[in-house]
Structure 1
Amino acid sequence: MRIFQWMYDKALVWAKHRHAERYLFGLSFTESVIFPIPPDVMLAPMALAHPERAWRLAWLTTIASVLGGIFGYVLGYLLYEPVVLPFIQYMGYQDTFALVERWFNEYGVWVVFIAGFSPIPYKLFTVGAGLMHMAFLPFVIASFIGRASRFFLVAGLMYWGGAKMQAKLREIVDILGWGTVALAGLAYLVYG
């Protein structure tokens, strides 16, 4: 199945839309709270389509993601029981969220940085940081550094790689996509 290549081709079309930056901002914000699709899916093709705006797009993605992270933090801090807990129970994420809480206890603010940079679902850690009443300023700093590192890396790869990177990425996007799905499944089996 070439589903990821199809999604990549669609993202390239959306990247050229006149409201693409607004969509990128919205995607980046909501991904930090609830949405499952990472903003890299839009950022990469947009940086390829408009290399002269790659750094601006990385900033936009970072700022929107950190603002979404702050919103997730507030949800966890103030509205965990009435809003977040019923959602976690409805989705069957109790075990996953318990693991997130354990990681917070073991690693503290470092887990926010790691979640911000890696493909680990950042949204679980934004809400978890609020629930655990993590100090707000370290949370924001770790989020900013982790998210900026990730999104500037993506934008930079697209900026410097250009058309060759676009062709190579399109060629291997299904391998990367299914590999990520397999790693997430493996991580769930090992740590879940």
Structure 2
Amino acid sequence: MLRRLYDWTLSLAARKSAEWWLAFIAFVESSVFLVPADVLYLPMALSRPDKAYRYAIIATVASVLGGIAGWYIGHYAFEAVAKPVLEFYGKYDEFEALKVSSGAGIILLMLVTSGLSHLPPIKVVTILAGVVSFPLGWFIVSAIVARGARFLFLAWLLRTYGEPIREFIEKRLGLLAGLAAAALILLYLLVRYLH
């Protein structure tokens, strides 16, 4: 099922309505959808490098709005909407573990790391932020910074290096972003325990 969903999302890049699909996928990815918007963003930006930054802005804005929707789902409709979605994707246990161990600082850190590298999955963190009533203003700022940095960095890579960077991005970006997220977590823990 996941492979078919991935292939379907990828096929949307060839359509005339690709920008609308990118906005839609980026929006729903942040609250309920499994496939990241990168799957659609990368082929779109590679086929039209002159529009890479435009696509990055579309993906960022839609992703932030989707994150806000996820926050509201977590805050106001956890039992009715969020819990069934998390159970469907097999993320409910991960969610519960995160909920128990998360203070405001950890939530902020997870918003940044999930926005940059999908660790943990963005939909889990947006819903969690709503459930624990993480301040919506800080939520929005962190989402803009993290998601914007991710998509704008991809746009820069694609505009600068073009097609040769595609394979590198598809194979190693998750690893590199994961390493950056681990470094952020270690830095946070170091600062927290030194004070």
- With the shorter chain as reference, the TM-score category is 0.7 to 0.9
Contact 2:30 2:63 in 1 (8 A): yes
Contact 1:117 1:147 in 2 (8 A): yes
Quote the Cα distance in structure 2 between the aligned partners of 1:91 and 1:53: 33
Unaligned 5+ residue runs, structure 2? 179-195
- Identical amino acids, percent of aligned pairs: 30
Quote the Cα distance in structure 1 between the aligned partners of 2:44 and 2:88: 35
Partner of 1:153: 153
Aligned pairs (5 A) from 1:1-192: 7=7, 11=10, 14-89=12-87, 92-105=90-103, 107-120=106-119, 121-166=121-166, 168-169=167-168, 173=170
Contact 1:54 1:155 in 2 (8 A): yes
Q: SS of 1:108's equivalent?
A: helix
Q: SS of 1:110's equivalent?
A: helix
Change (3 A) 1:92 1:60: closer
Moved more, 76-85 or 47-56: 76-85
Matched pairs, number: 171
Quote the Cα distance in structure 2 between the aligned partners of 1:89 and 1:7: 23
Unaligned 5+ residue runs, structure 1? 184-192
Contact 1:66 1:140 in 2 (8 A): yes
Task: State the Cα distance separating 1:7 from its structure 2 match.
Answer: 4.3
Residue identity in the other structure for 1:99: A
Task: State the Cα distance separating 1:90 from its structure 2 match.
Answer: 5.3
Contact 1:27 1:39 in 2 (8 A): yes
Q: SS of 2:162's equivalent?
A: helix
Residue identity in the other structure for 2:20: R
Quote the Cα distance in structure 1 between the aligned partners of 2:149 and 2:89: 30
